[in-house]
Amino acid sequence: MSRFWSPLVHRLTPYVPGEQPKMADLIKLNTNEFPYGPSPRALDAMRAAADDTLRLYPDPTALALRTALAERVGLTAENVFVGNGSDEVLAHAFQAFFNHGDPLLFSDVTYSFYKVYCGLYALPYRLVPLTENMAVQVEDFTAPCSGVVIANPNAPTGTAVGLDAIKRLLAMHPDRVVLVDEAYVDFGAESVVSLVKDHSNLLVVQTFSKSRALAGARVGFAYAQPELIEGLVRVKDSFNSYPLDRIAQAGATAAVQDEAWFRQGIEKVISSRTMLSAGLTGLGFEVLPSQANFVYARHADRDAAQLAASLRERAIIVRHLRGERTSSWLRITVGTDPQCNMLLSALRDILHRNS
Ligand SMILES: Cc1ncc(COP(=O)(O)O)c(C=O)c1O
């Protein structure tokens, strides 16, 4: 508290990011980062960008990166917006599109930053409960609204809805923006980017932080028709004209062009996810069917917070979220096979000791 703060700052409830501890030999399965390093081509491009030209501002429009992202999905640079992590893209979208009086709709169990942006921009919102099975049901998003935000796959549950469900949602709210947050889409869900051409109210947000292993470079992006992209650019250019530095733009552009590295990495994570889910099920956990690079799991008769604490004593960190519908669950990032195996054997040991 401070007398220097504006009333808005007093009211804010900021997002709490997953911790980034400095412990040595930590198995870090708490913030859904990619378990392998980025594309070597991306690293080379970033090293090459670290030269005398750093004295100059970067391209404020990030045209080379936007063009590479557009070409990958058969769109043009006019359909692409980039920002400092998808968090920044989301923040600009909330400010640009969701201030129409009615509440914004999003799930009761979803990415917790959505509520934070509503607080920051004073936007009313309404939580739409997930089903009993912790799934998103688009038919529940019927209320008059200022827009809809769906994380697909959802976080922290990892489950996804298909293209047809998003099509129904777009048709239900033709005069409102439907934002589909596809941070985890590359790990097996169906992207709705193909719907951009025919739907003026669709905004698809993605990131380099997960499937491209560039969380540390902070690059996010969005696909939409030019009218929505222009709205985002207006907000961006009223906030920070240069959200992506030269090094990030160079690395991200090279990463988009390294399709072989991308495919191979995704396959490895999906295979580890299958192994991890089966292992957890074998230990008595209920595991939701994940299409993301994490799994959401709970044990029938073990307290999730205690399990997380016991894992932590063994230098393994997973995410436990407080809350009525989340406190019995653990969100576990899919690590390398050896990391997943170490997690499983630690859990086996913890469950055995306490039985
Ligand atoms: C659903 C979802 N959207 C967006 C983000 C933000 O990612 P970034 O800002 O690193 O692109 C995250 C991060 O974990 C997420 O879980």
* Percent above pLDDT 90 for the chain: 95
Q: Whose CA is nearest to atom 7 of ligand 1?
A: 86
pLDDT-based confidence at residue 24 (cuts at 50, 70, 90): confident
Mean of the pLDDT values across residues 307-328? 95
Using one digit for the tens of pLDDT, what is the confidence trace for 33-61? 999 999 999 999 999 999 999 999 999 99
Contact 137, 184 (CB under 8 A): no
For the segment 70-127, what is each residue's pLDDT rounded down to a tens digit? 999 999 999 999 999 999 999 999 999 999 999 999 999 999 999 999 999 999 999 9
Residue with CA at minimum distance from ligand 1 atom 2: 183
Pocket test for ligand 1, best of 179, 209, 326 (most atoms within 8 A of CB): 209
Q: Which residue's alpha carbon is nearest to atom 3 within ligand 1?
A: 183
Please tell me the distance from the alpha carbon of residue 87 to that of residue 210, in angstroms, as a whole number: 13
Nearest atom of ligand 1 to the alpha carbon of 155? 1
How long is the chain? 355
Pairing of strands 80-83, 220-223: antiparallel
Q: Point out the ligand 1 atom lying closest to the alpha carbon of residue 209.
A: 10
Q: Which atom of ligand 1 is nearest to the CA of 220?
A: 11
Q: How remote is the CA of residue 139 from the centroid of ligand 1, in Å?
A: 25
- Name every protein residue with a CB atom under 6 angstroms from any ligand 1 atom: 32, 85-87, 111, 151, 155, 181, 183, 207, 209, 215, 220
The helices-and-strands tally (H runs, E runs) of the chain is 11, 12
pLDDT tens per residue across span 260-294: 999 999 999 999 999 999 999 999 999 999 999 99
Check whether 227 has a pLDDT greater than 90.
Answer: yes
Residue 181, both tokens: 């947050």
pLDDT digits (tens, 9 = 90+) for 161-183: 999 999 999 999 999 999 999 99
Residue 354 scores a pLDDT above 80: no
Residue 167's Cβ-count burial label (10 Å; 0-12, 13-18, 19+) is middle
Residue 38: Cβ within 10 Å count: 23
Q: Which DSSP string do the residues of 212-280 spell out, in sequence order?
A: TS-GGG--EEEE--HHHHHHHHHHHTTT-S--S-HHHHHHHHHHHT-HHHHHHHHHHHHHHHHHHHHHH
pTM exceeds 0.95: yes
For residue 301, the CA-to-ligand 1 centroid distance in Å is: 31
Instruction: Report how far residue 82's alpha carbon sits from residue 256's, in angstroms, rounded to the nearest whole number.
Output: 13
